[in-house]
Structure 1
Amino acid sequence: MTGSERAQLAFTQDRLGWEPWLAPLTTEELTDEHYEALVDKARAKSPYFLLLARDPAILHARTNTDNDIFHNTDGGLPRAERELAATATSRRNGCVYCASVHARFAAHYSKRGPDVQRLLDEGVHAPQDGRWQAITDASVALTATPEEFDAAHIEALRVAGLDDLAISDVIHAAAFFNWANRLMLSLGEPVKEPAP
């Protein structure tokens, strides 16, 4: 794929590929330590995770953090809204790959595909209903710079019905993906997924 073809990738709910600019490990190079760091052996098919596997301790901590933010069901936000926070963050940061992944999950779990697509198409200022708007606005403020996130965002989240644990989930999902987007954007680029 040429550079101009890569530049044409738009925000989408479609599956995308990702190409690293540095050589990832090959599956033949993976040790038991690497597989433990991957947490899920299926990640060994991902060039992103194979690249991060070069530092297994950090990958292990990163993956456990990611899993706890998005898969912990002990209260807090529903999964759809955690994914919405990650999608808004990724859309604000320009991470086409991460936005596609989390937009698919947000649409799947919420059954609100058109609302998710509007966020992708029109950007982070696209109108949403009160609760989704509060989550999007808080996520975007944290993404731009933490100082932009203030008491008004907390109040909007409370008015939208979020309790302390749910607000914490918004903050963690946005903060984690703010970091994860920047890491992914500095290590490679999204590409069209090859046809099966």
Structure 2
Amino acid sequence: MIEKTLSHPDNCEPVAFTQEELGWLPWLEPLSADELTDRHWAGLVDASRAKSPYFLLLARDPEVLEARTKTDKDIFYNTSSGLPRAERELAATATSRFNGCIFCASVHSRFATVHSKRGEEIQRLLDEGVDADIDRRWNAIIEASTALTATPLVSDDGLVEGLQRAGLDDLEIVDVINGAAFFNWANRLMLSLGEPTFPVKSA
């Protein structure tokens, strides 16, 4: 268990799943932008991530962060084949909803809405949980993502068969597995390092 070194007694953590943009407060001291060396910038991959306290914290181990970021980008942005972006984001949203990661669910539900134009159904997943009945294909993606996330693992051959019956081909199934597996790990990392917060509203 990680011992908190930073506390945020005045933070009012969001308790409901939302597509609203949230902030995040670390429990461990992140690097400051002034401390970043060429090695850290390489680890961030995307310079804009230096604005995020989460990535500035992970930049303390820049080689691991670089591998993590490149894996993330390949899973969600390399859409020349396999699942469309919206359903990759759906898998991440379902995983985050099941794991209770309000911050990650907010990020990926927004992406799922942008790319699918099905915001009401995405919100229903957030409101009702992973048992929400949407449609055959999305239900199968949500069910598979949840099965891959559960501890102990509950996935079996039926998981793949369910996705096949819903019309997914082999490459699409690999993308569901990648998206859910990556966020199963990413949720646990984020949940152990800090807490979500409502962003400060500009006047």
**Do the two structures share a fold, i.e. TM-score over 0.5?**
yes
Pick the aligned partner of 2:178 from 166, 172, 193: 172
Structure-2 residue corresponding to 1:62: 68
Q: Give the unaligned 5+ runs of structure 1.
A: none
Structure 1 position 5 matched with structure 2 position 12 = yes
Residues 9 and 192, structure 1, Cα contact 8 Å, conserved in 2: no
| Higher mean C-alpha deviation, range 84-93 or range 69-78 | 69-78
Structure 1 position 99 matched with structure 2 position 105 = yes
Structure 1 position 133 matched with structure 2 position 139 = yes
Structure with the larger helix share? 1
C-alpha spacing 1:68/1:146, structure 2 compared with 1 (3 Å): farther
Q: Report the RMSD for the aligned CA atoms in angstroms.
A: 1.3
Residues 11 and 197, structure 2, Cα contact 8 Å, conserved in 1: no
Distance 1:4 1:153 in 2: 40
Residues 70 and 82, structure 1, Cα contact 8 Å, conserved in 2: yes
- Measured after TM superposition, the shift of residue 4 of structure 1 is 7.5
Alignment of 1:115-194 (within 5 A): 115-145=121-151, 147-194=153-200
Residue 70 of structure 1 aligns with an amino acid whose one-letter code is F
Pick the aligned partner of 1:73 from 59, 75, 79: 79
Residue 177 of structure 1 aligns with an amino acid whose one-letter code is F
Which segments of structure 1 move beyond 2 Å, counting only runs of 4 or more?
A: 1-5
Query: Equivalent residue of 1:152, what SS?
Result: helix
Distance 2:152 2:169 in 1: 20
1:30-53 CA distances to partner (integer Å, 9 max, x unpaired)? 011111111110000000000000
Residue 61 of structure 1 aligns with an amino acid whose one-letter code is A
- Measured after TM superposition, the shift of residue 153 of structure 1 is 1.6
Distance 1:3 1:182 in 2: 24
Give identity over the alignment, percent.
66
- Measured after TM superposition, the shift of residue 147 of structure 1 is 3.3
Alignment of 1:18-37 (within 5 A): 18-37=24-43
Structure 1 position 45 matched with structure 2 position 51 = yes
1:10-67 CA distances to partner (integer Å, 9 max, x unpaired)? 1000000000000000000001111111111000000000000000000000000000
Query: Equivalent residue of 1:125, what SS?
Result: coil
Distance 1:152 1:74 in 2: 27
Distance 1:4 1:61 in 2: 32
- Measured after TM superposition, the shift of residue 3 of structure 1 is 6.1
For normalisation by structure 2, the TM-score amounts to: 0.93
Q: Give the unaligned 5+ runs of structure 2.
A: 1-7
Distance 1:182 1:14 in 2: 21
- Measured after TM superposition, the shift of residue 159 of structure 1 is 1.3
Q: State the number of aligned residues.
A: 195
1:125-151 CA distances to partner (integer Å, 9 max, x unpaired)? 111100000000000000003731112
